[in-house]
Amino acid sequence: MPLDQKTELNSLGFAKPPSETRVVVAMSGGVDSSVVAAMLAEEGYDVVGVTLQLYDHGAALAKKGACCAGVDIHDARRVAEEMGFPHYVLDYENIFKDAVIDEFADSYLAGATPVPCIRCNERVKFKDLLETAKDLEADCMATGHYIQRMMGENGPELHSAADANRDQSYFLFSTTPEQLSYLRFPLGHLPSKAATRELAAKYGLAVADKPDSQDICFVPDGNYAAVIEKLRPGAADPGDIVDVDGNVLGQHKGVIHYTIGQRRGLGIGGLADPLYVVKLDVEARQVIVGPKEMLATRTVPVREINWIGDGAFTDMAEREISVRVRSTRPPQEAILRPISATEATVELMTAEEGVSPGQACVFYETGGTRILGGGWIWKG
The residues annotated with a catalytic role in the active site are 120, 217
DSSP assignment string, 165-199: TT--GGGGTT--HHHHHHEE-TTTT-S-HHHHHHH
**H/E/C letters for each residue in 79-142?**
HHHHHCCCEEEEECHHHHHHHHHHHHHHHHHCCCCCCHHHHHHHHHHHHHHHHHHHHCCCCEEE
Three-state secondary structure readout of 213-237: CCCCCCCCCCCHHHHHHHHCCCCCC
- Beta strand 319-324 with 276-281 is unpaired
Please check whether residue 373 is in contact with residue 173, taking contact to mean a CB–CB distance below 8 angstroms: yes
Between strands 344-353 and 332-338, the pairing is antiparallel
Query: What DSSP assignment string belongs to 336-347?
Result: EEESSSS-EEEE
- Residue 43 falls in which region: left (phi positive, over 0), alpha (psi -120 to 50) or beta: alpha
Sign of the CA dihedral running 370, 375, 376, 377 = negative
How far is residue 217's CA from residue 232's CA, in Å, rounded to a whole number?
Answer: 19
- Is the four-CA dihedral 41, 81, 26, 108 of positive or negative sign? positive
| Burial category of 226 from C-beta neighbours within 10 Å (exposed 0-12, middle 13-18, buried 19 and up) | middle
Element (H, E) at 3: helix 3-6
Contact 69, 85 (CB under 8 A): no
